[in-house]
Homo-oligomer: A and B are copies of this chain.
Amino acid sequence: MKYISLKNVQISDNFWSRYIRLVRESTIPYQWAILNDNVDDTEPSHCMENFRISAGESTGSFKGAVFQDSDLAKWLEAVSYSLATDPEPELEALADEVIELIGHAQQPDGYLNTYFTISAPESRWKNLREGHELYTAGHFIEAAVAYHKATGKRRFLDIMCRFTDLACQLFLGEKPLLDGYPGHPEIELALVKLYRETGTKRYLDLARYFIDRRGEAPDCFIEEKNRDGWKQIFREFSDYDPLYAQNHMPVREQETAEGHAVRATYLYCAMADIAEETGDKSLLDACRKLWDNIVQKRMYITGGIGSSGYLERFTTDYDLPNDRCYCETCASVGLALFGFRMAKITGESRYMDGVERALYNTMLAGIALDGESFFYVNPLEVWPPSCMEHTSLSHVKPVRQKWFSVACCPPNIARTLASLGQYIYYRSDDEFLLNLYIDSRMEEDINGSRVSFLLETSFLKDGKSVLTINAEQSCECTIGLRIPEYVEGYTFTVDGASIDYIVENGYALFTKQWEGESRIEVAFDIPARFVSANPEVRADTGKVALVKGPIVFCLEQVDNGPNLASIVVDPRSSIIEEWDPDLLGGTPVLKFTGRKISGDNWGSKLYKPAEFNTMPVELTAIPYGLWGNRKPGEMTVWMKACI
């Protein structure tokens, strides 16, 4: 299976378009202003200035995090995807200028990193664990590939090939000068992209080397620390933990998702890519196990991952605390990227279930409706007074933040939304799989025949979709439509008639000679429903959450009053599905009745003989992805069930 080129897909979906437009109209310009320190109420990024200094066009010292460059890379990647689907000459001209600056900032040997170039040239490559040189380069490589695909221009790609050639020489030369791998995986998956774009085999070899070397003895991060010239960059990581960087055992032996959740998912993406390119079965098996470990034991219902607020990391099976989690937006983006790859490689629909969970919930929660403020941390339960500085909840913010100095999440959301089109379908020579029910038009050649696919869907409201296929000339191929896990029943008709189809790996497969226009009508039964978690999840046992299709709902104080923890719900209650056109730009809402434990008659008492007076309450749930866009207050996904 292959990706569809972004250029061949136009998204026209009501639900998604507003986010994609937000990225193009708000987030990309806002990020550009940020990169240039033109936003008053946020910390200066200094990112563009670092490049100018490195290019000799300005003077001064480096400022920002050691991986500050990566913000520009992510911006360029988002810009590239946006240009692929919606060309904008001015934006392209701006990007060209920036790319020239990057070229000037590049060192004669191909090295590119403004922190090390300006501040610590003697420390280049000496602290791979903390230096983020390879991580940052990875993001530039991804951007360069995206820009090449979008514009056909080679300049950026050439810059990054020069960098990568240097890295190949250092790590893979006849007498390699370096032995190691990045502390923060990212470049591995980028190298596979670069290989695919250029055909240069050594780029794949370098990716594979990083993957194969990781977790093998001797531990490169310990080795490098003992060499002359090693300098600490992050004091907070001085207590080295191999788990944190997925460095605790060879990757093929890893069966549980460990450590920093973003690092983990980026690593797994690369493992999947390399398994696909090389047919490495043991690597693919490891990917399957790691995916299953996540979605069966370590993933929040919102697709959030990273249970520990401290170090933003995975913890242990079924440990999914709702209020102190990290659930970084980037980690859910990483989970989606991993799932996209696994679905494409295996052709199994179930991977898309996880992808949808992450995209529709945690990723969307990451960005405000104005596109200019962001959640980095995505709790499933917030009681604002408890989110205090100088406590273990200090990372949880009840309102979206403007811009972090570590601005990983906002550009990550931007690039994911801008590239969403390429994940709607996968294809092989004679098979098309529809993964995501997103209104869109796609055109591809099949055996010389131009075929268009028009998907019109209202599945989030009524479960219905129509896929109109238009084949210029008669051609035989299989069209598969994904049957998501949350579908309780389904019917398919082709041109009004029931026809035979087979269901395989979660796709309904229609194989026939397509000619002229055909309509596949899909009716999914996707009622809103209460779900519960495996009772092994201590934080959720005895509770229910509300979902409809891929969307997880939550209660907010603004709709339901304070003390959401005191609400008790009967899971057999009926749920009324409504569409509120005026709320949050138009959103589905779910209404139902519950009871609330009353605090009357408690006075100043803190404890007294057990007594639960309850009163009936009318409750309103909104999509989790939209929480925090109104008056700040409590929020919860999980509600107590009466048992």
- Seen from chain A, the residues whose Cβ lies within 8 Å of a Cβ on chain B are 239, 241, 243-244, 292, 295-297, 299, 301, 307-311, 313, 315-317, 319, 321, 323-324, 383, 385-386, 388-394, 529-539, 541-542, 544-545, 563, 565-566, 568, 571, 595, 597-599, 602, 604-612, 614, 640-643
Contacts and interface: CB of A to CB of B under 8 A. Distances in A.
Chain B CB within 10 A, most for which of A315, A529, A538, A595: A538
Given A385-B319, A542-B565, A568-B542, A606 B534 contact: yes
A568 B643 contact: yes
Contacts of A308: 388, 390-393
14 contacts: A239-B390, A308-B390, A310-B394, A315-B391, A530-B610, A532-B607, A532-B608, A535-B563, A535-B598, A535-B599, A536-B563, A542-B568, A571-B610, A614-B643
Nearest to A541: B566
Contacts of A390: 239, 241, 243-244, 308, 310-311, 313
Copy number of this protein in the oligomer?
2
A20 B597 CA distance: 43
Contact of A292 (B321, B383, B565, B604): B604
Q: Which 7 A-B pairs have the closest CB atoms?
A: A571-B610, A530-B610, A308-B391, A538-B565, A310-B392, A535-B599, A532-B610
A532 B324 contact: no
A383 to B, nearest CB: 5
A309 B391 CA distance: 7
Contact of A542 (B533, B538, B612): B612
A311 B391 contact: yes
Contacts of A641: 610, 612
A606 B535 contact: no
Contacts of A541: 563, 565-566, 597
Contacts of A316: 385-386, 388
Contacts of A394: 310
Nearest to A568: B643
A389 to B, nearest CB: 8
Contacts of A383: 319, 538
A530 B609 contact: yes
A161 B573 CA distance: 72
Chain B CB within 10 A, most for which of A536, A611, A612: A612
A299 B317 CA distance: 31
A243 B390 CA distance: 10
A291 to B, nearest CB: 12
Contacts of A389: 241
Q: What secondary structure prevails in chain A residues at the interface with B?
A: loop
Contacts of A595: 643
A597 B643 contact: yes
A535 B602 contact: yes
Contacts of A531: 607-610
Contacts of A533: 606-607
A293 to B, nearest CB: 10
A4 B316 CA distance: 53
A606 B297 CA distance: 6
Contacts of A296: 604-606
Nearest to A602: B534
A609 B529 contact: yes
Nearest to A326: B392
A606 B299 contact: yes
B301 A607 contact: yes
Contacts of A299: 606
A536 B599 contact: yes
Contacts of A309: 392
A597 B535 contact: yes
A595 B308 CA distance: 30
B643 A534 contact: no
A256 to B, nearest CB: 12
A631 B611 CA distance: 34
Chain B CB within 10 A, most for which of A244, A607, A640: A607
A326 to B, nearest CB: 9
Given A595-B643, A643-B597, A643-B642, A532 B612 contact: yes
A190 B76 CA distance: 65
Given A535-B597, A541-B563, 19 more contacts: A241-B389, A243-B390, A296-B605, A299-B606, A316-B386, A324-B392, A530-B610, A531-B610, A532-B610, A534-B607, A535-B602, A536-B599, A536-B602, A542-B565, A542-B568, A542-B612, A571-B610, A571-B612, A642-B642
Contacts of A239: 390
B563 A532 contact: no
A147 B571 CA distance: 65
A304 to B, nearest CB: 12
A534 B612 contact: no
Contacts of A529: 609-610
Contacts of A388: 308, 315-316
